[in-house]
Every structure is written in structure tokens, then in C-alpha cells.
Amino acid sequence: MRENRQFSWQQGLIILGLIWLFGAVCDRFWYSLDNSVPAWDQADYLNGVLNYAEALQTSQWLSGEWWRSFWLLSNKIPPLNYILTAPLVNLFGTTEDVATLIMLFYSAVLLVSVYGLGVVLFDVNTGLWAAGLCQLIPGLYYYRLEFILDYPLTTAVIFSFWLLTLYFFNQNKLNGWILGILWGISFGLAMLMKQTALFFLFFPLLWVFLSVLKKRQWLRLLQLISSLLVGIAVAFPWYRTNWLLILTSGKRATVDSAIAEGDPALNTLNAWTYYGKILPYLLSWHLLIIPSVGLLIYLIRKYIYRRSNTKNLIYANKKAWISIAVFLLGGYFLSSLNINKDARYILPLLPVLSLILAVGLLSWRDRGRKYILWITASLGIILILLNIFPVGGEAIASKLNPRTQRYPYTGKSYPHPEVIAEIQNISPYLRTVLGILPSTLQINQHNFSFYGKQNNARISGRQVGVRKSEILPDSRSLDWFITKTGEQGSIPESQPAIVKLVEQGKDFKLQKTWQLPDDSWLKLYHRDRPAVEVVPITLSPSLPITLSPYLPITQSLPGVPIPVTYQWQGDRHTLESGMVLLTWEHEDNPNSFWIHDLAIGMGALNFSHTVEDGEFFQVIARTAMLPPGNIQPGKYNLQGVYLDRHTGNTQPIDLSSTSIIIDPQAAPITAPELDLVTQLRNTAPKMAENIQGLEPIFAQTARINQYDAQQDYLKQAELSLSYRLKHQQVSPPQQKDWLYAIALSQVLQQDVNGAISSFKQITNLYPQNPYGYAYLAFVYLYDWQPRLAEVALNSAIEINPNIPELTTLQGAAAVMQGRLIKAWKLFNY
């Protein structure tokens, strides 16, 4: 083989396929050996995949409402990785090994993109060597073996950069339009992979724009603008739907995380040299040194001794080097500007660095060049095997390439599937929330949720007891808890208290234990008297649905929770789709009443597809209701209506024999935690008092959201109260309270149109309350309707100009309308 022989593009693709195959075989063999469970982030992403896989099974491509719910499935993290992985899960199973098959696709796209960059900027040989190095760079294969977003992001960024480079170096007008549109699509997809794609694509895009402007290439400028609009159109639906949560979660993901992890402040040198210091570990010493020496020797020969022949130099293109420099320096700068630092955050720089490394390797000349090339490649192959497989070369690997060893876990399997199976065996017909009290890499709420979503189990893990004030309600609201001995992981100070309450309290029993690989013990606790129980019955009820309430007391205090047990009987469809609207009405004064509306089984029923239509069940729910504190004393009788949640049909339920006396002199009694619908309904009216009250309201809803993984209680509240407002005559104060509860449930569901309608009704009912207008304006702003928001804000200011939040909302409305001077004045008022 001649030293300067160039492969054809067909040969290049064949070699590229072999390079990909090598990485694919290593990866899949690694996963076949690995017995680990996914850690926090990996499990969280896997849960996102399962959510999208389920949504795609019931897709309604022409329904705007379905698309909105589709984008809301991931309201903080862009969903492209989930969407691309979901078909694999639907086809081959809901395991981690299946989900990680998507990495083979990402690897193929990355290799093609790097190869393409090498061909455009240099030649086929450079592209092939750069692609080969991408399989040998430790930083890339280390994170390729984790189901996190950084390797997919790297693929999306490099693919987009390749298409942008193709466009920039292309001079054909027709191809310019095609390449421009393709780049726009790739840019939109990169932004749907992760927001930080912009860190790496901003400066290359800016450089292309400036180059086009400098040359006054107006057609190309039009192409670029059109392409950018295409990219925005691709990413816009998800960002428009979730923009507020993206902004509010951004601080937690960057500033709060950086502080918690002790990352260097931006005014220190360490913040700007952080990634430079760790670069050798990501690249490995031999891949950094050998190409650098080759490039240095060449430059010495060329510029000092004038001995190099520059005729066929693969790095003679000045624009190519500028393009690479803009990408690397711009990406490094913006990544360093991000206060939250981690080695994986600069992963997209590595494939472009592989181009420089390939140039350095191919810079070697004379007879030793061939040996240097293959020694470098061989060392890389040996190192990848030593780094990812436990073959006894840890000492060598740690010296050549510290910190990037990732061996498969080949020890004893963790008992997560057995824990889920035990819960499912005890409660097969229920959606369950499992309180996870430790928080380690192996035992955490995310990976229990991942295993709990498999096989239609509907079991979700939640880390509870994180605040001292929430220990008691958390322990009273969940029926299942996990504790463990030994290392507890990253837990709050309040965790030991709730562990003691679960393990030593009288409400829970130890269901089962498992010995973990580290010889600690995992413990599963179950409530003695669960909030909801479901048992099959052999005889069909006399009516489609029957309800038998049980009150352990005959009289109670006003304003104090009253324990109540409901027993329903019916077939699976009637039970699963039903709500009961219960009204406790004073026997002499129908205007004095309280309500207790809830879904059958409090919305926790989960009859799987294995349950046949003719089967009947008994559902028992133990909960509490809350009469108002100012309610008239006397005897209250129970009235009930069954409401089908899907059809809206109703039927009365005969409950005339059930009553209770409200007496201010009654003895107090302990009661279970109030159901979630009641808690929401009692919290929402505080919104009418002031905007500052929103913080405790949202803290309350954030807590109770954990107890219902589907947030079904929000739908229950909205449906039941909407039905009552339509069919029941109540006083204006009661109507206002119910409307606020509906509006709050719609806000928490991000139902913009519904919330706008509810707040409009509130402002019509109470035109002199400024807070209704303020909330209406906020929802308008969320929906990108700043003019309508401004109208609502003007009404609020006329009523009370001294509410500081109104000025802030006015400023936001001005910004969204492009009135920046007015916004500046308002924000500095």
C-alpha cells in the first residue's frame, strides 16, 4: 500500500461499517455481562422512554389535544431521545438492555457525521481515521455505555455541524436550499435532544452568518434564515408547551446543582481551566501525545527547515481550520460559562477533536508512519478492552487513561423485580406509589419506578420524608415503603425520623426482606389497613354499582376530619370509570352542606387486560372527609350520584340511611389523611386572598402530587366540580371556591384553554378582585398571548395598583410584545 493512497468513498463506507461493528460488538457484549440496575439519572431517562412508548401505542396523529399531552410527557427535558427509543421498547420489551440498543443508532450517525466532516474539510483518509478514533476515545465509549443524554446529544450536535459545514462549503444554489433545509431540521432535532446543543452550534452558525454577510451573498442569507426558521419550527411545539417549566427548572439544574457539587465560581481561574485539565482523561494520553508529536514534527519541518512538500497537505484548507476552531473554542467558552461543570458536558467537542488527532497521526512521514498509525490504533483497541472489561489490566489502563474505567457489574442481581412482584401479588388491581426512603445508586425512587412500570404493574417510586414538616403526612398517605440497613446514600436530615416511624410505628408491618450484594438488607413495609383494597367477588351485585359507607362515629366536630370507609361493588368497567359525588346535606337547611367527591378507589384502580369483562370486584377505601369549620350544627344526611368519567352519564345512589350529627361539643377522633381531591379543593380558595399565597399552595400541591403518580386527582377535582357547577345551584362564595379549585387543577395539568375559561368566569363573578385578573394574565402569558394579558393586567391595576407582582407581569407582557423600553422601565420601577 502506498503511503498516500486515498480510499474511494465506497471503500470508506465499508471501512466505516466495520468500525461501527467493532464498537457495537463491544457494547452489546458489555451489556450481556452487566447485572447492575440503573442509577438515578439513567433510570429517570428510562422512565421517560416508557412514558412515550405507552403514548405511542395510542397515538392520534391528527388530534391537537393528543399532541399537547404528548409534549407534556416530558416537561423539562427535551423528548427526542425518548421518542426515538420508544419504538424499540414497544417492539422488543421494556428492559434497559433493549433501550440501550438506540446507542447503536447514535453511534452509526456519529461515525457517518465525523467521516463526512473529515471528507468535507480534508479527505477520505482523514474522515476514516477520525471516525475510528471516535470508537477509541475513552470519553465517548465511557458515556456510550450509560443511558443518559450526553452521547445522544453529541451525535445530534455533530450531525448538525456536519450539515452546516456541508452547506457552508457548497456553492451550488439548488443544493444550497436542500442542504440548508436539512441543516435546519437537524438543528431543530438537536434542540429537541438537549438545550445545551446551542452551546456548540451557536458560534459556528454565527460565523456562517457573518461570512455570508461579509460577502453579501443575499441568496445564501435567505437560505440560512429559512433554514433557521425550519429548525425553530421543528423544536417549537415542545418548547412552546413547556417553556415556563424549562425556565424554572433551569436554575435548579445549573446554579443549585453547581452549588451542591462545589463547582468553581465563574470569577475563578478553575472555572475556565476545568475542562482543559480533564481533557487528557477523556482522550487518553497516547491519543493525545502521538498525534500532537506528529503534528509538531511536521510544523517544525515545514516552517523551520523548509523541508516539507505542501502540495498534497491534508490540512492546507484555511477555512477548514477556522471552522474547527470556531466550533471548539465557542463550545469550550460557553460550556465553561455554564456554572454547572461535569466532564460529560463537553462530550460534543471530542469528535471534532478527533479530526485534529487524525490530522496529527497522518502528519507522520517516512517509513515509520505506517507502524505509528497501527501502533496507535492497536493501543486504542487494547485500552478499550482494558477499560470496559475486567480482564486484569486495571493497573495498565489506569496509567494510560485514568478515571475512565467502566466495568460491567457481574455480581449478584438486585431484587428490584422481586420487590415489584411482591407488591403486585398483594395489590394486583391497584396503581401503587412506593415510598423510597434510602437514595443510593442502586436503591432509589427512579429505578423502582422503572421496574414498576414494566408488565403493566403501575408501581411508582417516590422519595418522601425529605422535609421535617412532611414526615407525618407522607407516612399517612402511602401504603408501601422501602427501607434498608447500612449505607443510606444522599438523604435529607429528616430521613431517619420517617424511617423510625415506618419501622417502629404501629401502622406498618414488615412484608419481606432481601439481602443486597453489599450484605445490607432491603426491607419492604406494608400498611396494616391499606387506604384502598380490591378483592374479586363471585356473585354479581344486584345493581350495576353499589356503595356502602361506614362511619365509625355518629357525631363529630365541625372543621375536623371525619373518618369514613367506602365499600363499592361492581364490574371492572363501572368501577374503573366511575366517580361518586357525595353531598352531606343538613336535614332542615339544604343550603348547609359539604361535599366529598372522589373516584372509586380514589382513582387507584388498575384492572389489567387479563381481567375479563364479566368479573366483579369489591373496592374498599379508607379515607376522611372535612366539614367546614363554620357549618351549621345538626343532622346531615348523605346523598350520592354515580358519574361515569368517560360518558358523563349519571345515576343516583340510594344512601338515605346514612347520616351524621355535627356537634361543637362532640368528642374529637383521629382520622386518616384527607383524600387528595379534598386537600386540593380546600387549598385552592386561598388563591383569591393574595398572590403571595401561591407559594404555600404550590408547595402543598407538589407534596400531594407525589402520592398520585398519574395526577388523576386533578382530573377528578375538575370533573366533579364542573359537573356540580353545571347542575347545582350554590351561593356565589361557594361557586368562587369551586371555580378556583377547577382553575388550579387545570393549571397543574397545564390545560391552558380550560384555565383561561375558569379565570374568566372568576373575573366575571368577582370583577372587583384583582387577583383573578392577575391569574388570567399569567395564563395568557404562558400561552404567548401578551396583548390579552395586558388587558387583564390593566383591569387588575385599576382595582389595586399596589400589587408588585402586577408590574412584573406587565414587564413580561411588554418583552413578549417587543416593547423593550417599556419593559426596562417597568422592571426598574
* Residue-wise pLDDT tens digits, 92-122: 999 999 999 999 999 999 999 999 999 999 9
Q: Are strands 562-571 and 545-550 parallel, antiparallel or unpaired?
A: antiparallel
With a pLDDT cut of 70, the percent of the chain lying above it is: 95
For 482-564, where are the alpha helices, taking DSSP H only? 495-504
> Chain-centre distance of CA 777, in angstroms?
27
pLDDT score for 1? 34
- Measured from the Cβ of residue 449, the count of other Cβ atoms closer than 10 Å reads 23
> Chain-centre distance of CA 254, in angstroms?
15
Instruction: Determine the Cα–Cα distance for residues 479 and 623; give it in Å rounded to an integer.
Output: 13
Using an 8 Å Cβ cutoff, are 118 and 16 in contact?
no
* Residue-wise pLDDT tens digits, 485-531: 999 999 999 999 999 999 999 999 999 999 999 999 999 999 999 99
* CATH number among 3.20.20.80, 2.60.40.1120, 1.10.10.1590, 2.20.130.20, domain 532-673: 2.20.130.20
- Measured from the Cβ of residue 448, the count of other Cβ atoms closer than 10 Å reads 25
Q: Does the structure show a pLDDT above 50 at 313? A: no
Q: Report the mean per-residue pLDDT for the chain.
A: 91
**Which one-letter DSSP state was computed for residue 429?**
T
Out of 53-62, 156-165, 305-314, 642-651, pick the least confident.
305-314
Cell numbers for 564? 369514613
Q: Are strands 562-571 and 616-625 parallel, antiparallel or unpaired?
A: antiparallel
pLDDT score for 151? 97
Stretch 708-735: mean pLDDT: 94
* Residue-wise pLDDT tens digits, 265-279: 888 999 899 999 999
pLDDT score for 77? 93
pLDDT score for 375? 92
Tally of CA atoms within 13 A in the half-sphere of 637 that contains its CB: 9
pLDDT score for 316? 57
Stretch 57-63: mean pLDDT: 91
Place of cell 377528578: 716
Q: Does the structure show a pLDDT above 70 at 476? A: yes
Which region, left, alpha or beta, applies to residue 40 given φ > 0 means left and ψ of -120 to 50 means alpha? alpha
pLDDT score for 694? 81
Instruction: Determine the Cα–Cα distance for residues 827 and 829; give it in Å rounded to an integer.
Output: 6
Place of cell 410505628: 505
Out of 127-131, 224-228, 283-287, pick the least confident.
283-287
With a pLDDT cut of 90, the percent of the chain lying above it is: 74
Instruction: Determine the Cα–Cα distance for residues 302 and 367; give it in Å rounded to an integer.
Output: 18
pLDDT score for 608? 76
- Single out the residue of 152, 189, 135, 196 nearest to residue 342, CA to CA: 196
* Residue-wise pLDDT tens digits, 194-249: 999 999 999 999 999 999 999 999 999 999 999 999 999 999 999 999 988 887 76
- The residue with greater pLDDT, 320 or 171, is 320
Place of cell 336535614: 587
Instruction: Determine the Cα–Cα distance for residues 461 and 441; give it in Å rounded to an integer.
Output: 14
- For 547, the enclosing helix (H) or strand (E) is strand 545-550
- Measured from the Cβ of residue 646, the count of other Cβ atoms closer than 10 Å reads 9
pLDDT score for 309? 53
Phi, psi of 547 (to 5 degrees): -130, 130
Q: Does the structure show a pLDDT above 60 at 326? A: yes
What is 677-827's CATH number? Answer: 1.25.40.10
- Single out the residue of 521, 560, 766, 815 nearest to residue 672, CA to CA: 560
Using an 8 Å Cβ cutoff, are 193 and 156 in contact?
yes
Using an 8 Å Cβ cutoff, are 245 and 76 in contact?
yes
Instruction: Determine the Cα–Cα distance for residues 747 and 588; give it in Å rounded to an integer.
Output: 38
* Residue-wise pLDDT tens digits, 627-662: 999 999 999 999 999 999 999 999 999 898 899 999
pLDDT score for 644? 95
Instruction: Determine the Cα–Cα distance for residues 453 and 432; give it in Å rounded to an integer.
Output: 10
pLDDT score for 311? 45
Cell numbers for 281? 482523561
Out of 124-128, 378-382, 680-684, 820-824, pick the least confident.
820-824
pLDDT score for 307? 58
- The residue with greater pLDDT, 828 or 816, is 816
Q: What confidence category does residue 693 fall into, taking pLDDT thresholds of 50, 70 and 90? A: confident
* Residue-wise pLDDT tens digits, 434-458: 999 999 999 999 999 999 998 777 9
SS3 595: strand
Q: Does the structure show a pLDDT above 50 at 3? A: no
Q: Does the structure show a pLDDT above 90 at 748? A: yes
Stretch 561-574: mean pLDDT: 94
Tally of CA atoms within 13 A in the half-sphere of 175 that contains its CB: 9
Q: Does the structure show a pLDDT above 50 at 341? A: yes
Tally of CA atoms within 13 A in the half-sphere of 121 that contains its CB: 30
Using an 8 Å Cβ cutoff, are 158 and 110 in contact?
yes
- Single out the residue of 658, 657, 673 nearest to residue 621, CA to CA: 673
Decide: pTM greater than 0.85. yes
Instruction: Determine the Cα–Cα distance for residues 206 and 153; give it in Å rounded to an integer.
Output: 20
Q: Does the structure show a pLDDT above 50 at 193? A: yes
Instruction: Provide the total of helices (H) and of strands (E) in the chain, helices listed first.
Output: 33, 15
Instruction: Determine the Cα–Cα distance for residues 502 and 482; give it in Å rounded to an integer.
Output: 9
